[in-house]
């Protein structure tokens, strides 16, 4: 059987989870762009203070950190610390041929945990809320990775 066929329900589960997470990650870049344009600031490069059609009235304050922009950058940083590893761990986990039910619970559970983490972080909920959602995702990632490592040793 071809493990990497999109017709294989197990692999399709991974592909759906992976593509949703990639779209989530890319959205953070665009959200940063939207917020920088709205607050007309939060820039980082000296050349961004040049007078151009998109920045007709440059101001040195535009290079200062802006909390509305920085919040999205922190969320994106959290994505970078987690999603690339999930993308590989989920792929390798699928190759251990887990049950379809368990794979769906873990992979879609991870997706849900990251979307809830985003919602909590974006709206500035208490640290405990954000940390809980992050932890759920992190535990799923650790479980899949250790399961795959054991499988590579024949267990």
Q: Which residues bind a second copy (CB under 8 A)?
A: 2-6, 12, 15-16, 18-20, 22-23, 25-26, 28-30, 33, 43-48, 50, 52-55, 67, 71, 74, 76, 80-85, 87-89, 91-92, 95-96, 121, 124-128, 131, 138, 141-142, 145-146, 148-149, 151-153
> Is 46 or 60 the residue whose CB approaches a second copy more closely?
46
Cβ-contact 41, 64 below 8 angstroms: yes
Q: Compute the distance between CA of residue 118 and CA of residue 25 in angstroms, rounded to an integer.
A: 11
Report, in Å, the least distance between residue 101 CB and a second copy: 18
Report, in Å, the least distance between residue 124 CB and a second copy: 5
> Is 23 or 101 the residue whose CB approaches a second copy more closely?
23
**Each residue of 89-125: b (16+ CB within 10 Å) or e?**
bbbbbbeeebeeeebbebbeebbebbebbbebbeeee
Report, in Å, the least distance between residue 113 CB and a second copy: 14
> Is 118 or 121 the residue whose CB approaches a second copy more closely?
121
Cβ-contact 68, 39 below 8 angstroms: yes
> Is 63 or 105 the residue whose CB approaches a second copy more closely?
63
Cβ-contact 83, 25 below 8 angstroms: yes
**Each residue of 15-36: b (16+ CB within 10 Å) or e?**
bebbebbeebbebbeebbeebb
Report, in Å, the least distance between residue 145 CB and a second copy: 5
> Is 44 or 61 the residue whose CB approaches a second copy more closely?
44
């Amino acid at each position: 059987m071809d493990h990497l066929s999109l017709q294989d329900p197990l692999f399709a589960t991974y592909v759906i989870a992976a593509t949703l997470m990639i779209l989530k990650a890319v959205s953070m870049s665009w959200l940063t762009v939207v917020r920088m344009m709205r607050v007309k600031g939060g820039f980082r490069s000296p050349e961004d203070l040049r007078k151009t059609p998109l920045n007709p009235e440059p101001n040195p304050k535009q290079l200062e950190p802006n909390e509305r922009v920085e919040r999205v950058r922190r969320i994106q940083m959290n994505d970078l610390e987690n999603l690339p590893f999930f993308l590989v761990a989920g792929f390798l986990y699928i190759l251990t041929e887990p049950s379809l039910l368990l794979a769906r619970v873990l992979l879609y559970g991870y997706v849900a945990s990251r979307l809830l983490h985003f919602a909590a972080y974006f709206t500035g909920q208490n640290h405990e809320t954000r940390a809980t959602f992050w932890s759920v995702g992190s535990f799923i990632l650790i479980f899949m990775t250790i399961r795959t490592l054991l499988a590579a040793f024949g267990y």
